[in-house]
């Protein structure tokens, strides 16, 4: 793809993602209208994984949920692409990181009222490594754990569930290199693509989303009853 065309493609894609995100996060306050959409939190930071993040944003918005993208601050963030290169002249033991699209967070963690949300979806990437130290984000995870609302996690997102003490005594999965993170959170690591235990559903990577989302959407429906 020529550079000019690629830049235009990135510009349009970023604008579309920002528009969806902005429309989803116009208001953080609860809407008492009978027609109000249910809200789902999507916590991100710099180096959130591109597919981990954009797929749930679009999929859940398509299903009629209001997805609020939130971060340490309400600003634009860098996403990254993670994969093991199949054609590297020198083999990689772990994933390589490359820049992805930008994504707009419309709310800061400290301003979120978790009681206004029905679920939280946790992307992976490198962001959870430092987001787990954010006390406001940990507070949000504690709410979803204590109220037993659906919590979804992919890949390195398990680090945030551990920080929020959401998985103690549960069975979970994550990318295999995060097995220790899960166990340090008091969970039993299961080396399977998708694992659900109560209100927590987890998967190893975005390639498992077709299976994860069938179950996660059922969890959201069950929570409405």
For residues 194, 154, 189, 214, the Cα torsion angle rounded to the nearest 10 degrees is -20
Phi, psi (deg, nearest 5) at residue 159 = -65, -30
CATH class of 3-22+37-85+94-224: alpha beta
Domain positions in the chain are 3-22+37-85+94-224
Give the residue from 122, 102, 107, 93 showing the smallest Cα distance to 14.
102
User: Taking 70 as the threshold, does the pLDDT of residue 30 lie above it?
Assistant: no
pLDDT, one tens digit per residue, over 96-150 is 889 889 999 999 999 999 999 999 999 999 999 999 999 999 999 999 999 999 9
Give CA–CA dist 91/96, Å, rounded: 11
Q: Are the beta carbons of 185 and 168 closer than 8 angstroms?
A: yes
Strand partners, 96: 83
Q: Please determine, for residue 194, whether its predicted confidence score (pLDDT) is greater than 50.
A: yes
Whole-prediction pTM? 0.82
190: helix, coil or strand? coil
In percent, how much of the chain has pLDDT > 70?
A: 84
- pLDDT number for residue 25: 38
């Amino acid at each position: 793809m020529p550079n000019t065309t690629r830049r235009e493609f990135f510009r349009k894609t970023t604008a579309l993602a920002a528009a969806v995100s902005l429309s989803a996060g116009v208001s953080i306050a609860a809407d008492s209208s009978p027609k109000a959409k249910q809200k789902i939190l999507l916590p991100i930071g710099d180096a959130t994984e591109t597919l981990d993040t954009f797929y749930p944003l679009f999929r859940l918005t398509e299903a009629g949920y209001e997805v609020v993208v939130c971060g340490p601050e309400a600003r634009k963030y860098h996403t990254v692409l993670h994969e093991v290169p199949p054609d590297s002249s020198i083999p990689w033991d772990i994933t390589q990181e490359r820049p992805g699209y930008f994504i707009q967070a419309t709310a800061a963690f400290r301003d979120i009222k978790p009681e206004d949300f029905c679920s939280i979806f946790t992307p992976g990437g490198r962001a959870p490594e430092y987001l787990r130290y954010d006390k406001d984000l940990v507070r949000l995870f504690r709410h979803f754990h204590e109220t037993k609302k659906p919590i979804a996690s992919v890949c390195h997102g398990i680090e945030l569930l551990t920080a929020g003490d959401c998985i103690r005594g549960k069975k979970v999965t994550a990318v295999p290199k995060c097995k220790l993170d899960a166990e340090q959170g008091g969970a039993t690591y299961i080396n399977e693509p998708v694992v659900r235990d109560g209100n927590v559903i987890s998967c190893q990577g975005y390639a498992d989303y077709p299976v994860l989302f069938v179950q996660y959407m059922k969890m959201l429906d069950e929570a409405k009853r």
